[in-house]
Amino acid sequence: MSIRIRLIGAGNISSTHARAASEIPGVKIVAIHGTNQEKVSCLSREFGAKPYTEFKSFLAHSPMEAVIIGSPSGLHAEQGIAAAQHKLHVLTEKPIDITTEHADGLIFACKVAGVKLGVIFQDRFKPDILRLKQFLAAGSLGKPLLLDARVNWYRPPEYYRDSKWRGTLALDGGGALMNQGIHTVDLLIWLFGEVKKVQASTATLLHDIESEDTALALLEFASGAVGVLHATTAAYPGYPRRVEITGSEGTIILEQDRIVAADVRNKDKSLISADAGDKNPSASSPVVSDVRGHRLAIEDFIRAIETNGKPACDGEDGRRSLALVEAIYQSAGFLRKTMQRAI
pLDDT in tens, 177-204: 999 999 999 999 999 999 999 999 999 9
**What's residue 288's pLDDT?**
78
Yes or no: say if 146 and 246 are a contact pair by the CB < 8 Å rule: yes
- Sequence spans of domains, the chain: 3-123+292-314, 124-286+320-342
Determine phi and psi for 77, rounding to 5 degrees.
-70, -45
The residues facing 221 across adjacent strands are 195
CATH 3.40.50.720 fits 3-123+292-314, yes or no: yes
Round to whole Å and give the CA distance between 90 and 76. 10
Which residue did the predictor score with more confidence, 170 or 336?
A: 170
- Please, what is the average pLDDT of the chain? 93
Lowest mean pLDDT, pick from 83-92, 111-120, 149-158, 326-335: 326-335
247 touches 256 (CB < 8 A): no
Angle at 153 between CA 127 and CA 329, to 5 degrees: 95
Bridge partners of 4? Answer: 28
**Model confidence, pTM:** 0.94
Q: What is the pLDDT of residue 282?
A: 79
Write the pLDDT tens digit of every residue in 245-270: 999 999 999 999 999 999 998 766 66
Cis peptide bond N-terminal to 63, omega within 30: yes
How do strand 195-203 and strand 66-69 relate by DSSP bridges? unpaired
| pLDDT (average), residues 3-17 | 97
Evaluate whether 3-123+292-314 and 124-286+320-342 have a shared fold.
no
Q: Provide the pLDDT for residue 1.
A: 59
Q: Taking the mean position of all CA atoms in its chain, how far away is CA 250?
A: 29
DSSP secondary structure string, 101-148?
A: HHHHHHHHHHHHHT--EEEE-GGGG-HHHHHHHHHHHTTTT-SEEEEE
CA distance 310 to 111: 13
Closest by CA position to 334, among listed 140, 229, 200, 218: 200
Span 73-90, mean pLDDT? 98
Does the pLDDT at position 340 exceed 50? no
Per-residue model confidence (pLDDT) at position 275: 63
Say how far apart CA 163 and CA 43 lie, in whole Å: 18
Task: Of 149-158, 203-212, 278-287, give the lowest mean pLDDT range.
Answer: 278-287
Cβ neighbours of residue 23 closer than 8 Å, sequence gap 6 or more: 291, 295
- Rounded to an integer, what is the distance from CA 47 to the centroid of its chain? 24
Of 35, 43, 88, nearest to 61 by C-alpha is 88
CATH label, 124-286+320-342, candidates 3.30.565.10, 3.90.180.10, 3.30.1860.10, 3.30.360.10: 3.30.360.10
Q: Of the given ranges (105-114, 208-217, 220-229, 274-283), which has the lowest mean pLDDT? A: 274-283
* CA–CA dist 72, 212 (Å, integer): 17
Cα 46 to chain centroid distance, Å, stands at 25
Query: In angstroms, rounded to a whole number, what is the distance separating the alpha carbons of residues 49 and 282?
Result: 28
Longest dimension (CA), the chain: 61
How many C-beta atoms lie closer than 10 Å to residue 310's C-beta? 13
CB atoms within 10 A of CB 316: 15
pLDDT of residue 174: 97
Asked if residue 222 has pLDDT above 50, the reply is yes
